[in-house]
């Protein structure tokens, strides 16, 4: 069953067509990777999906509902969680407090603390719960963002470059986490690390010059001559 769909989604900035006429469908429980060269329009497309950017044309539907005109906070209320390409943690609060703030969007009272603990355990930050978020490494701040998304138990979790700045061991742990979440949580993953894409995604969508160039399984995308020429550097 389709959870998210866009039709004719487009965005222009001062005459520059950043995203052009994108039809995109995401099935419930799927892990979908969105890849493409720098400047392909990935962040703009995701911004329109999560409500941070208004489209110039087209529609966004979430679970059968037209949400094109809904602001970002209303989409969060429907079950979307989005982690940013640039970290957006509260640097002056400790790690657990950051996650608790996100948890309170759906929980209250005694339910918050165990949810926070569980989310931090999942991303490997339980031992840093009392550390000030601003003192974390960039990679650990990314993991904190993921915990802040997970604690909301989203229907759609959008991860924008989640492995950027992570060490190899942390990337391996992230792959395991995505595999554990697959099926229970629908995930849209914007990612440059091709080993992450190929090992975690059910399907891959390739954006190039603001348009969908190809969609398919990881193996199909790897073998696609157009994708090789545009992005994978083997054409």
pLDDT of residue 84: 67
Residue 48 pLDDT > 90: yes
How far apart CA 132 and CA 128 sit, in angstroms, is 8
Mean pLDDT (the chain, rounded)? 92
Residue 87 pLDDT > 80: no
Of the chain, the percentage scoring pLDDT greater than 90 comes to: 77
Q: State the residue for tokens 């400047």.
A: 39
pLDDT of residue 235: 42
15-34: per-residue pLDDT in tens?
899 999 999 999 999 999 99
End-to-end CA distance of the chain: 35
53-77: per-residue pLDDT in tens?
999 999 999 999 999 999 999 998 8
210-228: per-residue pLDDT in tens?
999 999 999 999 999 988 8
Cβ-defined contacts of 43-48 (< 8 Å, 24+): 43/85, 43/160, 43/190, 44/11, 44/18, 44/19, 44/210, 45/9, 45/11, 45/19, 45/207, 46/82, 46/158, 46/160, 46/188, 46/190, 48/6, 48/9, 48/11, 48/19
Instruction: Tell me the average pLDDT across 69-90.
Output: 85
pLDDT of residue 205: 97
106-151: per-residue pLDDT in tens?
899 999 999 999 999 999 999 999 999 999 988 899 899 999 999 9
Domains of the chain: 31-55+69-232 (3.40.50.300)
pLDDT of residue 198: 94
Closest by Cα among 213, 205, 226, 222 to 24: 205
């Amino acid at each position: 069953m389709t959870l998210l769909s866009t039709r004719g989604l487009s965005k222009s900035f001062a005459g520059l067509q950043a995203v052009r006429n994108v039809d995109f469908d995401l099935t419930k429980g799927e892990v979908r990777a969105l890849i493409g060269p720098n400047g392909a329009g990935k962040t703009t497309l995701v911004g329109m999906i999560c409500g941070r950017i208004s489209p110039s044309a087209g529609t966004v539907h979430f679970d059968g509902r037209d949400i094109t005109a809904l602001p970002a906070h209303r989409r969060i209320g429907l079950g979307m969680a989005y982690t940013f390409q640039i970290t957006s943690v509260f640097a002056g609060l400790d790690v657990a407090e950051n996650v608790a703030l996100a948890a309170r969007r759906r929980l209250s009272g005694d339910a918050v603390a165990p949810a926070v603990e569980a989310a931090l355990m999942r991303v490997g930050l339980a031992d840093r719960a009392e550390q000030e978020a601003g003192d974390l490494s960039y990679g650990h701040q990314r993991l904190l963002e993921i915990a802040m998304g997970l604690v909301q138990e989203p229907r759609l979790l959008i991860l924008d470059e989640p492995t950027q700045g992570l060490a190899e061991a942390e990337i391996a742990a992230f792959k395991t986490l995505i595999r554990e979440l697959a099926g229970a949580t629908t995930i849209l993953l914007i990612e440059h690390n091709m080993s992450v894409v190929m090992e975690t995604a059910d399907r891959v969508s390739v954006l190039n010059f603001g348009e969908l160039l190809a969609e398919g399984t990881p193996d199909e995308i790897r073998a696609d001559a157009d994708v090789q020429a545009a992005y994978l550097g083997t054409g």
